[in-house]
Amino acid sequence: MAHETVIVLDFGGQYNQLIARRVREQGVYCEVKPYTTPVADLKALDPIGVIFTGGPGSVYDPAAPQADPELFRLGVPILGICYGCQLLAHSLGGKVAPAQSGAAREYGKTGTSFDPDCRLFRGLPAESVTWMSHGDYMEKVPEGFRLTARSAACPNVAIADEARGFYGVQFHPEVNHTEHGAAMLRNFLYEICGASGDWTMEDYKETAVRRLREKIGDGRVLLALSGGVDSSVAAALLAEAVGKQLVCVFVDHGLMRLNEGDEVEAAFSKWDVRFVRVNAGERFLSRLAGVTEPEEKRKIIGGEFIRVFEAEAKKIGRVDYLAQGTIYPDVIESGAGDAAVIKSHHNVGGLPDCVDFKEIVEPLRLLFKDEVRRLGRELGLPEYLVGRQPFPGPGLAIRCIGEVTRDKLDLLRQADFIFRDEIARAGLAGSMDQYFAVLTNMRSVGVMGDGRTYDYTLALRSVTTSDFMTADWTRIPYDVLDRISVRLVNEVPHINRVLYDITSKPPATIEYE
């Protein structure tokens, strides 16, 4: 079954994933595509609508991303957000200019007035708050458009050419700070694009199982199983699709948390699939010796993963496909074409150019994290697996700043266990979406036992998030932080200072490397 599809055309905006996530929350399937995607390729997806994302550039800059004029002849509604709104105006005969200080330039929460006759704002309050982030403004509105929203500083907050279904907003409806932003997107999808809302996880499961059976046929599949949410759900989906043709290989790269390798083996040995554990800690550590640059770490680990799987496949016998738990944020963050690489995920940007398999199968490649959890529940996976916190494929290597050594990993494992243990004792685990310790490469002077120390600084990180694309730091009570700090400096050798990270995403990422 082909889903109704909305295309989110990425012009470099920091919220591109969030826009896509908000669209899918409304029961409408969408894909994020770079603005350089040929219009013919976009047309082949038979979209019911297109959304232009924000971006850091100015549309009047010759070097800034531009829209192919053919986009406006697709015959489908278009919604431009922030830069996307200005691009819409610029491309269709309007004029965009730098905002003068104190006028038309807006950042943060902004009181905004709306025209309730505009279909984008129909049924919503005439006054509410939006989230602005723009230094340019539409000096001249294109012919055929009318103004549909304004603020105290800017008369041109939103524009609409309802005859063609073209809409533009200077603010960001996809962020929670914009009141009624979800309702605006829903109006665009259902009232303007005519969506019926055919994106459900039950339908996705059935479609995915059928497609996997068609693709794999009687072939054998080797799954890269980490024991995390993504690979566990991928295992369940593949098991339902091809059963005994699946072999799950767990590579213990020596970069796991305390006792985690044994826990993964215990959990998956009960499944009706072939489970193979490969202890490759020494191999990975030797390859990481002397490496300090985060991207290089990720690529080394990704490449080594593949080589281990190739070697294991030869022992197993004929294996046609390599399966991975890659999810959509992995793909987007790893960059494609002109898109920025935020960080190469070991199962995307870290893959070697040539692998010794017929094809790589990624059944979760188009799903966001919360969608993966929903699919897991649809497949009947236990909650302790579906609700597990994310753990990066490169493991503790990217929570150990600088060179990765055995001694530093041992320190980090102890520290991470203490942090998690105290959070559990305080009954706070359910209120946090991801929390962990990071061994920084910074050393500082301390005093212990009346003597001078010069040891490591440990950072603690905890975030709350609904989608892992944006995240806020967790307000852990001071008394809990105090107990954690006391235990860390008393129980873990060579740590004499503990910091708590209070940076949200953006501007930071959740992981350190």
H/E run at residue 261: helix 260-268
CA distance 156 to 142: 12
CB 447 within 8 A of CB 453: yes
pLDDT score at 338: 42
CA 275 to chain centre: 29
Annotated active-site residue 400? The verdict is no
Please say which residue of 140, 170, 192 terminates a domain: 192
Q: Residue 86: which of 157, 37, 182, 146 has the closest Cα? A: 157
What is the CATH number for 474?
A: 3.30.300.10
Do 233 and 124 belong to one domain?
no
Q: For residue range 348-374, what is the model confidence (pLDDT) as tens digits?
A: 334 444 446 788 899 998 788 888 999
Strands 158-161 and 49-52: unpaired
Instruction: Please check whether residues 170 and 224 belong to one and the same domain.
Output: no
Domain span at residue 449 reads 399-500
Query: Given a cut of 80, is residue 215 above it in pLDDT?
Result: yes
Q: Name the residue with higher pLDDT: 303 or 228.
A: 303
Q: Where are the alpha helices (DSSP H) in 277-368?
A: 281-288, 294-316, 328-333
Exposure string of 468-483, with b = 16+ CB inside 10 Å and e = fewer, is bbbbebbebeeeebee
Residues 380 and 419 in one domain: no
We report the CATH number of the domain holding residue 112 as 3.40.50.880
Asked if 85 and 226 sit in the same domain, the reply is no
Whether 506 is covered by a domain: the verdict is: no
pLDDT of residue 350: 41
pLDDT surpasses 80 at 2: no
Question: Is 264 in the same domain as 347?
Answer: yes
In a domain, 353, yes or no: yes
Is the domain of 176 the same as that of 220?
no
- Radius of gyration from C-alpha coordinates of the chain: 25
Indicate if 425 and 495 belong to the same structural domain.
Answer: yes
Of 153 and 511, the one with more pLDDT: 511
Q: Domain boundary residue among 386, 421, 454?
A: 386
Out of 4, 106, 174, 422, pick the active-site residue.
Answer: 174
pLDDT at 422: 97
Q: Is residue 302 part of a domain?
A: yes
Q: For 94-140, how does the pLDDT look when each residue is reduced to its tens digit (9 = 90+)?
A: 998 887 655 555 667 889 999 999 999 999 999 999 988 766 778 88
Out of 90, 134, 172, 346, pick the active-site residue: 172
Q: Provide the percentage of residues in the chain whose pLDDT is more than 90.
A: 58
- Please indicate, yes or no, if residue 507 is contained in any of the structural domains: no
Domains in the chain: how many in total? 3
Is 437 in contact with 398 (CB distance < 8 Å)?
A: no
Give the CATH number for residue 256.
Answer: 3.40.50.620
Tokens of 187: 């109006």
Same domain, 123 and 215: no
CA nearest neighbour of 93 among 112, 72, 107? 72
pLDDT at position 330 is 74
- What letter would DSSP give residue 400? B
Range in 3-12, 112-121, 195-204 with the lowest mean pLDDT: 195-204
SS3 498: strand
- Name the residue with higher pLDDT: 330 or 382: 382
Residues 129 and 159 in one domain: yes
Percent of the chain at pLDDT exceeding 70: 93
Q: Is 174 a catalytic residue?
A: yes
In a domain, 423, yes or no: yes
Whole-angstrom Cα distance, residue 445 to residue 456?
Answer: 9
Q: Name the token pair of 356.
A: 């010794």
SS3 for 186? helix
Q: How far apart are CA 1 and CA 502, in angstroms?
A: 45
Q: State how far the Cα of 320 lies from the Cα of 317, in Å rounded to an integer.
A: 10
Mean pLDDT computed over every residue of the chain: 88
pLDDT tens across 242-259, in order? Answer: 988 999 988 899 999 998
Alpha helices in 343-455, H assignment, sequence order: 369-378, 383-386, 406-425
Contacts of 111 (CB under 8 A, 6+ apart): 127, 128, 129, 151, 152
Give the range among 183-187, 208-212, 317-321, 412-416 with minimum mean pLDDT: 317-321
Pairing of strands 451-464, 495-500: parallel
Question: Residue 329: what pLDDT?
Answer: 73
Residues 245 and 131 in one domain: no
Which candidate in 4, 30, 82, 106 is catalytic? 82
Q: Quick one: CA dihedral 294, 299, 302, 307, positive or negative?
A: negative
Q: Is the pLDDT of residue 461 over 50?
A: yes
Is 223 in the same domain as 158?
no
Instruction: Give the pLDDT of residue 356.
Output: 62
Domain contains 218: yes
Residues 132, 248: one domain? no
Query: What is residue 284's predicted lDDT score, i.e. its pLDDT?
Result: 96
Last residue within a domain, chosen from 192, 212, 231: 192
Residue 505 forms part of a structural domain? no
Give the pLDDT of residue 91. 94
